[in-house]
Amino acid sequence: MTTYLRADRAVFRFSGPEAHRLLNDVVTGQIPDSGEVAAAWALLSPQGKILAEGLAGHAEEALWLDVHQSVADDFFKRMRMYKLRAKVEIEDLRATHRAGFAQEAGLEGVRHTDRLGPVDLGWRVIAPVEDTTGWVQDDGVYQKERIAAGILHQGNDFPANDAFAHDIGLDILDGIDFAKGCYVGQEVVSRMKHRGTARRRPVIVSGIDAPAGSAVVAGGREAGTIGQVVDGQAVAILRLDRISDAGAATVDGKPVSLELPVWASYTFGEAGAEE
């Protein structure tokens, strides 16, 4: 089995009798307490913006989470604050463990399915540094697959405190539990769902000859910006109401093609209700 190192991911381990309750009370997703299926989640600001996001999986009597390196310090600080007197140990494993991606299940490390709703990308693997020497050091295969599937990642495609959970499709990709009780930012998430105010959504952009962060222009107006570019393709968070003709978009003055992910329940031209 080939495992590709995801060097931009930071790993944290939550253990103790109240670890599951703590996470379930703070982040958007339904945190698993068993099995090999990982759950997508986001830690939000009170205003509903994404501060950190990743996958959470249960193994070895603990919960294993990964976040982008750019937000790891802030995530660790906030979770220790939310912990208060809860019986939870939060371990920062950046110095000792690495996260990787595998297309098939294997025996090495802590592994969970890298699945978001109907999108199955393979397996997330976490292992001690000394066990990762045989991993492929380039994660281009992973990035290409998740971009083709329309999956956005914080740090690669958008910065912290910039996007709402609906903007990256977490409401469709099983990254939000609408049935559980309150969590940080829950009021904003609930309002966007029930009022239908989500206007920015993930869109796959192909034929790009420009760097990440370049604007997508449709109908003479900017609709959003592209994320990480791999082989001329990226995922962008775009204003659907500004795209009346998906075949008439440009990036850096050059024509590109826009495509909705296969899992999308939204369409071009949609205008979310005003707040």
Q: What is the pTM of this model?
A: 0.94
CA 255 from chain centre, in angstroms, equals 28
Domains 4-149 and 199-274 share a fold: no
Q: Give the tokens for residue 261.
A: 């992910």
- pLDDT of res. 178: 92
Bridge-partner residues for 218, per DSSP? 221, 249
pLDDT along the chain (275 residues), means of 10: 94 97 95 92 97 97 98 98 94 98 84 92 96 95 97 98 97 94 91 85 98 96 97 97 93 97 93 55
Structural domain boundaries of the chain? 4-149, 199-274
| Topology annotation, domain 199-274 | Elongation Factor Tu (Ef-tu); domain 3 (2.40.30)
pLDDT of residue 271: 73
Determine the longest span between alpha carbons in the chain, in angstroms: 55
Sign of the C-alpha dihedral, residues 202, 37, 43, 30? positive
Q: What pLDDT, on a 0 to 100 scale, did the predictor assign at position 275?
A: 43
CATH number for the segment(s) 4-149: 3.30.70.1400
What pLDDT is stored for residue 230 in this prediction? 98
